[in-house]
Amino acid sequence: MKIGFIGLGNMGAPMAANLVKAGHDVTGFDMVAKPDGIPLATSAAAAAKDADIVITMLPNGAILRTVAAEIHAVMKAGVLHLDCSTVDVDSARDVAQSAENAKVLAMDAPVSGGIGGASAGTLTFMAGGTKAGFAMAKALFDIMGQKAVHCGPSGNGQAAKICNNMILGVTMIATCEAFNLADKLGLDRQAMFDVVSTSSGASWSMNAYCPAPNIGPKSPADNDYTPGFAAELMLKDLRLSQMAAEATDADTPMGAAATALYKTFVEDEGGLGRDFSAMLPRFSARSRKDS
Ligand code: NAD
């Protein structure tokens, strides 16, 4: 398949590399990055022009809208624009409308699994768009990921992503504050893990990504909280969840609290560039009067 790939950053470069490795004819474009092993075009439009599928993996909705306007103008009728960026639901739906106007199929398919999943080809895709678009993308999902769920019409992939990550942000904070309380109560961290990971407090944050160093499966906590999933990316996704909650009048008090905590952590407390599980040492360093 002839694939245009726009946005070759931390996620896009290894995803594109996996498509090249699988034998696809990939042409990439990035404003800054020039990764080895991926044939490059000189503009987004040039990468998109003759492609059967154009994938975008960009930082935010505003940039996606700009790139989409540029590529939809030159894409062939009936081909697919597969956007894997994490963006707000409104941008995803507007870009899908722009594609439809240009007789291009559109699918929003944000991912879970991070840089490790992008390199290993084990991402999970949450896809929004038509059945025809999903069918066209399926072979590529199978190369870049281990699972793809069709969540409904355009925007629903982004909806699934921000709901999932709102749960993740909230459960990580809950897990970290509970570890801190356990520490204060004199409860051994290994005992805390052994009980909670097999009890009703279990979650992915505890069981698979334990924020306490040297407890549970290997996680960024074991590597001095080097990301992994950086706190500022969690803040981005939480902000998207709160934008969506405002737009739909959904009551999300825990999501709002998690957003406020990660904002302070990233902007004022040294969380920038640290893994999002570094909330645990943050709690450990504080007392109740600090809240
Ligand atoms: P990144 O910043 O490393 O990569 C984005 C790339 O887009 C950069 O190389 C940048 O130069 C390029 N770019 C910006 N504007 C452009 C334009 N107009 N034309 C062409 N290229 C342009 O970000 P990333 O970590 O690769 O993340 C990409 C997306 O995936 C984001 O939406 C992010 O939220 C999402 N995501 C990231 C992770 C992660 O762990 N990094 C996990 C899941 C989802």
Q: Is the pTM of this model over 0.85?
A: yes
Q: Where are the alpha helices (DSSP H) in the chain?
A: 12-21, 44-48, 61-72, 89-101, 114-120, 131-144, 156-184, 189-196, 204-207, 231-248, 253-268, 279-284
Residues with CB under 6 A from ligand 1: 6-12, 29-33, 44, 57-59, 63, 66-67, 85-86, 111, 114-115, 229, 233, 236
pLDDT in tens, the chain (291 residues): 999 999 999 999 999 999 999 999 999 999 999 999 999 999 999 999 999 999 999 999 999 999 999 999 999 999 999 999 999 999 999 999 999 999 999 999 999 998 889 999 999 999 999 999 999 999 999 999 999 999 999 999 999 999 999 999 999 999 999 999 999 999 999 999 999 999 999 999 999 999 999 999 999 999 999 998 999 999 999 999 999 999 999 999 999 999 999 999 999 999 999 999 999 999 999 999 998
In this structure, the number of other CB atoms found within 10 A of the CB of residue 233 comes to 19
Closest to 91 (Cα-Cα) out of 117, 113, 61? 61
Q: Which residues of 262-274 are buried (b: 16+ CB within 10 A; e: fewer)?
A: bbebbeebebeeb
- Contacts of 50 by beta carbon, 8 Å cutoff, 6+ apart: 2, 76
* Cis peptide, bond prior to residue 228, ω within 30 of zero: yes
- The alpha carbon of 12 and the centre of ligand 1 are apart by a number of angstroms equal to 7
- Residue 128, beta-bridge partner list: 108, 152
Q: How far is the CA of 198 from the centre of ligand 1 (A)?
A: 36
Q: How high is the pLDDT of residue 61?
A: 97
For residue 93, the CA-to-ligand 1 centroid distance in Å is: 19
